[in-house]
Chain A
Amino acid sequence: MDAAIPAADLAVARSLDEPSVIKRRQWPAHSLIYAGLAYIVAIIFLLPYVEMIIAALRPANQILDRDYVPTHWNFYNFIDIWSTGFGNNLRISLEVAGGSTLLVLLVAVPAAYYTARQRFRGRGAFLLLVLVTQMFQPTAMLVGLYREFLSFGMLDSVAALILVNAGFNMAFAVWILNAYVSAIPIELEEAAFIDGSSRLGALFRITLPLALPGIVTALIFTFIAAWNEFIVALTLTTSPTTEPLTVTLNSYIGQYQVDWSHLFAGSVISTIPVIILFALIEGKVVGGLTAGSIK
């Protein structure tokens, strides 16, 4: 672990998982100062969500009290929310986010690989198009999207939400993966060709494993974006049984009343899948975000 690390190579991601704590060494004084600062920052970033949990646990008659924590805790909000069909909306959200992620990978990996490895007519135009769609967000196109999916007969369907989320997040995936594949020496693949591998074989055996951090990044980026998407889902779904979580949560803000406890309880629950996903692949994300483009 000393000076022998070959620097900016694809193992960058792994250095994050370096088990620094396990080594029982004495931390120098300045690292403790860094730690203190970093903890303060971390706490600041957690505070709003702590407040969210506290609000979700307030009993009905203390919801607007002027105190930091209630005198009683009401855990019931986290339980009875499940009796309202919330699980169904959670499932829809998982389908939409999972489906979009899968579709993005299926479509973006071949495109990114091919544009990175081949020069062909229209390549520049395609990459420019990808860059431009990266800039667009669906908020501006609600009317058009609604009309389009109406004519497809796809309103109120998970498939429509998957298509839209995939469409608007694919650019980022192509972009990142293209940069990533470009950074992988072509000689590695050529070696595989010589060994008798087909192009697909080389892709699956050599390139994709090496590009894994990039793929993971694209994956988590799409998943989070689709998971949190609100305005398209609001426009394209029409009933409580077909809408994803974000829309359900929004309906706790009613005409006469805002159901704060359930709104916040649901919000807390809805964050959990993303946190889990992130925890599983955190190290790879840091490595993947730009490693490909730094070459």
Chain B
Amino acid sequence: MRTSCRHLALAGVSAVVAFGLAAVSAPVARAADTTLSVVVADYGTGPADASLKYWQTIADDFHAANPTITVKIQSINWNDFDTKVQTMVQNRQYPDITEGDYFSNYAQEGLLYKVSDVMTDPSNLMPAFTKLGSYGGVQYGMPFTTSSRAFFYNKKLFAQAGIAAPPTTWDELMTDAGKITALGKIGYGMPLGPEEAQAETLLWFLGNDGGYQDADGKYTINSPQNVETMEFMTKLVKAGDTEPNPGTKNRAELLEQFAQGDVGMMNGITTLLPIIKTANKLTDADWGTTAITGKTGPISKTLGVCDFMAAFKGDGTKLDAIKKFIDFTYQDKYQIAFDQEYNLLPGTVSGAAAFSKIDPALAPFMTALPNAVQYPADTAWAQVKTQIQQIIGTAIGPDPKSVLDTIQQTALKGS
């Protein structure tokens, strides 16, 4: 009998340990208080410049001004943001506010508040991105931070290779890339790897009057122009004028190589500026930017990218708090602080006006924004994007058309 009691005691200890661990106390808010859960993408490269810091400042300031509202920030590594938000939504664990990618699917499902419900002055949001943030003619996504692309080139390498000016046409680009490759460097950096292939692809398509969609919003991924574009890209790759196997190379890797002076030309983004600075290898005189090269000449358009805030309805009880927080967040000073930290561009009209006075180096990117071409805004895009990221690299090869056909089919199935 004594032994049995001991048995029980031992098992009891194990059980208490096992289940004691399971009992984690959830934070309990006082009845009158509202807690907002805000899920944001992390734009930093590690804990040092984590976006959590930026958001925590806003949350603290906001809490000081509105003591009854507590804001809980969750930040998610950029590369995992889509998946994680998706998982939360799948499990009905809606955040109140997200900042990062915006999915029209969620608007379609009726999960989101209209912008006019959660923001006092929606007209201050950059109008160029209204369509991208809309579903069925109603705006749900609020531009938070934006960026545009430009053609970066390494003047030092150009001088070494005896090239006088940046290329204006595809043929010139190929000639120049060949000369730089002869120096043992990468002539043209073409990131078609899974991370951001959809951007590089679109920039090339634009150079031949192509794109993902026509003016009516119909998908035209396998259009003759696009096929022709892929054929030229294949020619460029086959000639050895790019890094080898672009379908497996990501943007981050090539940006770093550009900053270290190993890449002659590439389509870059404003965030390349601080990378060049940290690398400490190229001086400001060693590199330049110009318009994206098209088939017959520089193209007037560029790709504009925008990350959005969106507000989830949840059980519908937090509307007031959400609206207060969003109005608070969109103050110019916070917009500017964000863009200074990450070298991105504002998402509001007043923010942009204030920012261009502070940081003239980014002014050319900002002027390009209003004409920027954007990604498709429909519900098929999420799947199309994933597929482009995964297989567009295989279009560099003997049969680009069949790869584009496959993606086109996915687009038609989804829309």
Contacts and interface: CB of A to CB of B under 8 A. Distances in A.
A and B touch in the complex (CB under 8 A): yes
Interface of A: 60-61, 63-64, 80, 83-86, 89, 99, 102-103, 106-107, 110, 143, 146-147, 150, 152-154, 157, 159-160, 162-163, 198-200, 234-235, 238-241, 247-248, 250-260, 262-263
A103 B17 contact: yes
A248 B84 CA distance: 16
B413 interface: no
Chain B interface SS verdict (over half): helix
Nearest to A200: B6
B13 A258 contact: no
A259 B260 contact: no
B164 interface: no
Contacts of A258: 45, 252-253, 256
Contact of B271 (A247, A248, A256, A260): A256
Contact of A239 (B13, B45, B52, B281): B52
B278 A60 contact: yes
Given A240-B52, A253-B252, A159 B45 contact: no
Nearest to A157: B24
B46 to A, nearest CB: 5
Contact of A60 (B10, B74, B280): B280
Contacts of B24: 153-154, 157, 159-160
B80 A234 contact: yes
A99 B24 CA distance: 15
B291 interface: no
Interface in B269-284: 269, 271-272, 275, 278-281
B114 interface: no
A107 B272 CA distance: 52
Contact of A61 (B3, B6, B280): B280
A99 B18 CA distance: 11
A251 B46 contact: yes
A220 B269 CA distance: 46
Contacts of A255: 43, 78-79, 195, 252
Interface in B49-82: 50, 52, 73-80
A160 B21 CA distance: 8
B70 to A, nearest CB: 15
B217 to A, nearest CB: 28
Contacts of B17: 102-103, 106
A86 B47 contact: yes
Contacts of A153: 24, 26
Contacts of A63: 256, 260, 279
Nearest to A108: B14
